[in-house]
Amino acid sequence: MRKSTSKEMIGGLALTSSLSQTTKKPSKLLPLSHSYRQARFSQCNHNHTHTIKNQRLNHRLNGLKIVRGEKLLRDLSTWGIGGPCNYYIEVFNQNQLVSALRFCHENSLRFMIIGRGSNCLFDDLGFDGCVILNRIEFLERIESGVFRVGSGFGFNRLGTMCSIKGLTGLEFAGGIPGTVGGAAYMNAGANGQETADIVDSVEIVTTGGQFQTLLRVDLSFGYRSSPFQDMQDLAAIAAVTFRLRHSESARRKQLEYLERRRSSQPVGEKSAGSVFRNPSNLGVSAGELIDRAGLKGVRVGGAMVSNIHANFFVNSGESTSRDMLQLISLVKEMVYQKFGVQLKEEVLYVYPHCNYLNPNRDK
């Protein structure tokens, strides 16, 4: 068998693992397809289940608590949708992360790392592999305005803390329910600010288990993109160091952004943030196109286009993953018919035997 590479980012980390399995060719980005954001998952070795079953997985293994078949993905997603995963591990430091990746590698398990689950849709059938929850949440002050932060630290929490301290650059983060690792990986941004503006360095774990520190000057970011998305030897983003400037208006600006978000987005409802990326070079947002197409309030089962912001789809009741996927497909079709614009998904769809997910690109 040829050696495949597995890479993924869901709300918290990018990861890569070399596994001796065969990967499927990725499908084109289409409604109800099986490719949305970047990830290459190894094909499952169908013989591994019996082997692992005999281990005491609900107890500690090399310092990790590995839970089998009990964790529901709906509890790990802001959409509140998703079935069980075969294996579930929480990691609280970099060494535990490496141990978790090694466990998946040695047992030929598909795996994915998630943070807040704020940008993904899990299938109702769950995930046939291991879900690793990133809880690397340390915060270290290096010097005035410079902080080294664990990749699992809440991005909104960091933005609020820095603004209160009178530091500018992360005011926009106050309302983004992701993690520091996810923000760096996707170069999250809003209100004219983006993560790359204040990144000083990024610490990663390579596929060979080595830790590396990459300086901002050597990293090329773009709109909702970063070099980590194509980094072949990347195993995980472990920490990010931010360099901010002092500003007396930081807290006021952050509160203004938060108020704007509360009045223009369905903050209290179950959503995954923006479903589609804004079209480039059109001067109009995806939300405006959906609104102009008259699709606010449109429902498929328990899935609904928000009446507050048309690019937010909410779980208004007992939405299934199929409800949400069909709503995404319907909105794409209606916008294309009316305006000739092909919207591109910003959310991640994870299905049981997921092998490849692709961010911000067509294949």
Tell me the three state secondary structure of residue 170.
Answer: coil
Q: Which residues pair with 249 in a beta bridge?
A: none
Encoded tokens for 302: 């328990």
Q: What is the pLDDT of residue 110?
A: 87
Supply the CATH classification number for the domain 139-250: 3.30.465.10
- Burial readout 248-263 (b: 16 or more C-beta within 10 A, e: otherwise): eebbebbeebbeebee
Alpha helices in 31-113 (DSSP H): 48-53, 94-106
Low pLDDT (below 70) residues in the chain: 1-62, 355-363
Q: Domain limits of the chain?
A: 66-134, 139-250, 268-349
Q: What is the pLDDT of residue 344?
A: 92
Q: Which helix (H) or strand (E) holds 327?
A: helix 321-339
CATH class, 66-134 region: alpha beta
For residue 165, which phi and psi values (nearest 5 degrees)?
A: -80, 0
Q: What is the pLDDT of residue 4?
A: 34
Task: Tell the residue number behind the tokens 């430091």, with chain if given.
Answer: 93
For residue 185, which phi and psi values (nearest 5 degrees)?
A: -65, -40
Q: pLDDT tens across 1-13, in order?
A: 333 333 333 334 3
Q: Which residues pair with 68 in a beta bridge?
A: 87
Supply the CATH classification number for the domain 268-349: 3.90.78.10
Q: What is the pLDDT of residue 55?
A: 47
Dist. CA 277–CA 249, nearest whole Å: 30
- DSSP annotation string for 120-166: EEE-TT-EEEEEEEE----EEEEETTEEEEETTSBHHHHHHHHHHTT
Dist. CA 280–CA 174, nearest whole Å: 25
Encoded tokens for 42: 């190894």
Dist. CA 352–CA 84, nearest whole Å: 9
Q: What is the pLDDT of residue 61?
A: 61
Task: Tell the residue number behind the tokens 């509360």, with chain if given.
Answer: 262
